[in-house]
A and B are shown apart, each in its own frame.
Chain A
Amino acid sequence: MSATGINWFKYSSPQAFHPLAGRMIPWFAAAAVGLIGVGLYVGFFVAPTDVTQGDAYRIIFVHVPAAWMSMFLYVIMAVWAGIGLGLNARPSFMMAQAIAPTGAMFTFLALFTGSMWGKPTWGAWWVWDARLTSELILLFQYIGIILLRSSIDDLRRADRASAVLALVGVINVPIIYFSVRWWNTLHQGASVSITAAPTMAGTMVTAMLVMMLGFWMYSIAVTLARMRCVIVERERQPSWGKNASIQEVVEAR
């Protein structure tokens, strides 16, 4: 700690994290806007029309980043949940709480844009292949975590219960993926390569990766902003800027 001169553990207190997050958000927001802008430009004006799928393939520039973020965010949320349970650390639980809505939003987007892509390309709004089915279950799991938290009034119990649920769910998603894939290979005619992306030209891959990075920066920015809200909502301390009455101290928790 003294080697770098920075005491990182100082930021594990919500009071210290709040202004730090506030300073970080504009950078991530700017990065998000920049990357998404570049990604859209490359995706629409540089990447060529696909031979097999026409211009409909361009949906992957939002579909794949959204799907990837939905899964990535779930894992990160589960990691924070695990840390919270292991270290009994309130800020870790708050981080998990801040991530969930964004993850759910991206899961929904992945499903919606996936439908939009599937209809013109393969003629169906929905197919029960492993990837889409896993994504659907992931959405249910996100919603379950959010609803469980909001159903429990006691903050400590809410934190810990939703953390357990998040961890149980992390194991479930790969199991669902493999069981549905296995189930599909037995019921031939369902899918196999139905959601395979087209063999992609270099510019297509670039656009997709840039968009993915942009979504990632966006997620960090939004999560940090939501974390600040959570901190203020939960941690209203009398010392947070001004003097408090006895009433406020009693109400703070």
Chain B
Amino acid sequence: MQWGSVAEFFAMGGYGLYVWTSFGATALCMGGEVLAVWRRSAAAERRDES
């Protein structure tokens, strides 16, 4: 383990803002896409049943 403390981990050597924004955006985009496809699937199945 190379991080002295949790605070160090989040600080990322001063670049925390950039690193976590990047990973955050990635998580948001990928999670959002999964959600969108799930909702599209539910809507399609619903319409198919009607």
Contacts and interface: CB of A to CB of B under 8 A. Distances in A.
Determine if chain A interacts with chain B.
yes
Contacts of A240: 48
A240 B29 CA distance: 33
Secondary structure of the A side of the interface? helix
Interface residues on A, range: 20 to 34
Interface string B1-45: 111000001001111001101110110011001100110110011
A62 to B, nearest CB: 5
Contact of A112 (B1, B14, B25, B37): B25
Interface of B is mostly: helix
A44 B3 CA distance: 9
A108 B19 CA distance: 16
A55 B44 CA distance: 44
Interface in A91-128: 101-102, 105, 108-109, 112-113, 116-117, 119-120
Interface in A46-101: 48-49, 54-56, 58-59, 62-63, 66, 101
B40 A59 contact: no
Interface residues of B, number: 27
B29 A49 contact: no
Nearest to B26: A62
A232 B44 contact: yes
B13 to A, nearest CB: 4
Contacts of A54: 12-15
B41 A116 contact: no
Contact of A120 (B18, B38, B44, B47): B18
A229 B29 contact: no
Nearest to B16: A55
Interface of A: 44-45, 48-49, 54-56, 58-59, 62-63, 66, 101-102, 105, 108-109, 112-113, 116-117, 119-120, 218, 222, 225-226, 228-229, 232-233, 236, 240-241
19 contacts: A48-B2, A54-B14, A54-B15, A62-B26, A105-B30, A105-B33, A108-B29, A112-B25, A116-B18, A116-B22, A218-B30, A222-B37, A225-B38, A225-B41, A226-B40, A228-B41, A229-B40, A233-B47, A241-B48
